[in-house]
Structure formats: structure tokens, C-alpha cells
């Protein structure tokens, strides 16, 4: 696994320190709001587990599975394969995502949840790759762990063909692995 990694982009220590900072910010912003923290599976699972423990105010955990077809023609079409269990109407909702890339999946998730009339709806993404954003997507993340260059990254929940999610850091995959 390790030998397929070209470079460690974000070390375990860097990620831990940044999540602690985000935790302070989120704990401040969501004090007294009992937010629903919606994780989009499954890339988010490692970030979610670490992030939630740095949010020091009462909150509820929930999850969605979205299947997107952005790989084919970039129409942004997606479907909800697993929905949240809780009624989001009037609730403060925070979406947690692993990566904001073209924006197709986050754009879909955001508007899907917005239609349920939450009291507020915000986005927290561990990674943001703004160079990759699809034209016309104006959505912005409210909380960003790290803004990264346009490289394919794996680890800390992120996969290539379902592999590498269990690496404890975020690394750049050697291009020969996927070319």
C-alpha cells in the first residue's frame, strides 16, 4: 500500500491539529443548537469519527449514501441510496464531507437537504480542491480543513477503487497506479 504513495500530503499530526481547530470553531458556532451532523458515506468515515469527538456540544449523528454518476458525463445526476433517519425540518444541519472536488456530489447533497427546510445548512469538508470545480457550481464550503492542489489523493477515508482508505494520512497516489 505504502509503496503506491508518491508523497504524504497531510500527515496524521497535521490532520489532528487542524481537526482540533475546526472542533473549537464548530463547538462555538453550534453551541445550544443541537445540530444534526450528516456524514456522506463512506469516504467521510475516518474524518467523521475524529471530527465528531472534537465537537464539544450536544449533537446528533446521521449518515447518507449518495451514488453519483459524475464519472461518466458530469451531469451531476445522483440518487440517495441511504437517507438520514431524522426529520431535518427546523434543525441545524451540518454536512461533513471528505472532499469537495468537482462539486457534483456536494451540490446534490446540499440541495437535497435544503429541500427539507432545515433551520440552517452548512458544509464542512476536510479537503477542498477548488481547481477541479465544475463550471457553474457556486456552492462554497463553510468550513474547510485543507485546500489542496489538483492531485488524486488517498488515505484517511479516501479511496482509489476502494483501496487505501485505511492509510492514516492523506497521500498523493503515484500516477502509474491509476494510469
Kindly list the residues in this chain that would bind ligand IMP in the complex (CB under 6 A).
43, 68, 70, 98-106, 152-154, 158
- Contact segment (CB under 5 A) with Mg ion among 10-18, 42-50, 62-70, 103-111 equals 42-50
Nearer to ligand IMP by Cβ, of 34 and 166: the residue is: 166
* Rg of the chain on CA atoms, in Å: 16
| Residues 6+ away with beta carbon under 8 Å from 162 | none
Rounded Cα distance between 73 and 70, Å, is 6
- Contact segment (CB under 5 A) with Mg ion among 16-24, 39-47, 80-88, 124-132 equals 39-47
Task: Please choose which of Mg ion, ligand IMP, none residue 10 contacts, taking the beta carbon within 5 to 8 angstroms, the exact cut-off set by kind.
Answer: none
Task: Please choose which of Mg ion, ligand IMP, none residue 153 contacts, taking the beta carbon within 5 to 8 angstroms, the exact cut-off set by kind.
Answer: ligand IMP
Nearer to ligand IMP by Cβ, of 9 and 19: the residue is: 9
First to last CA, the chain: 17
Active site residues: 101
CA distances from 55 to 45, 88, 134, 168 (A): 16, 20, 31, 21
Nearer to ligand IMP by Cβ, of 91 and 128: the residue is: 128
**Helix (H/G/I), strand (E/B), else coil: 162:** coil
Amino acid at each position: 500500500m505504502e509503496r503506491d504513495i508518491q508523497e504524504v500530503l497531510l500527515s496524521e499530526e497535521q490532520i489532528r491539529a487542524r481537526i482540533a481547530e475546526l472542533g473549537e470553531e464548530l463547538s462555538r458556532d453550534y453551541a445550544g443548537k443541537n445540530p444534526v451532523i450528516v456524514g456522506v458515506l463512506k469516504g467521510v468515515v475516518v474524518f467523521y469519527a475524529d471530527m465528531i469527538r472534537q465537537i464539544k456540544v450536544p449533537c446528533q449523528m446521521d449518515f447518507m449514501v449518495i451514488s453519483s454518476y459524475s464519472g461518466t458525463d458530469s451531469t451531476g445526476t445522483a440518487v440517495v441510496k441511504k437517507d438520514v433517519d431524522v426529520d431535518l425540518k427546523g434543525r441545524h444541519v451540518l454536512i461533513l464531507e471528505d472532499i469537495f472536488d468537482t462539486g457534483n456530489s456536494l451540490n446534490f447533497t446540499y440541495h437535497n437537504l435544503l429541500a427539507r427546510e432545515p433551520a440552517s445548512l452548512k458544509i464542512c469538508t476536510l479537503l477542498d480542491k477548488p481547481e477541479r470545480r465544475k463550471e457553474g457550481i457556486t456552492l462554497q464550503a463553510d468550513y474547510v480543513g485543507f485546500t489542496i492542489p489538483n492531485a488524486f489523493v488517498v488515505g484517511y477515508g479516501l479511496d482509489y477503487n476502494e483501496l487505501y482508505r485505511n492509510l492514516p494520512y492523506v497521500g498523493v497516489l503515484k500516477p502509474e497506479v491509476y494510469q
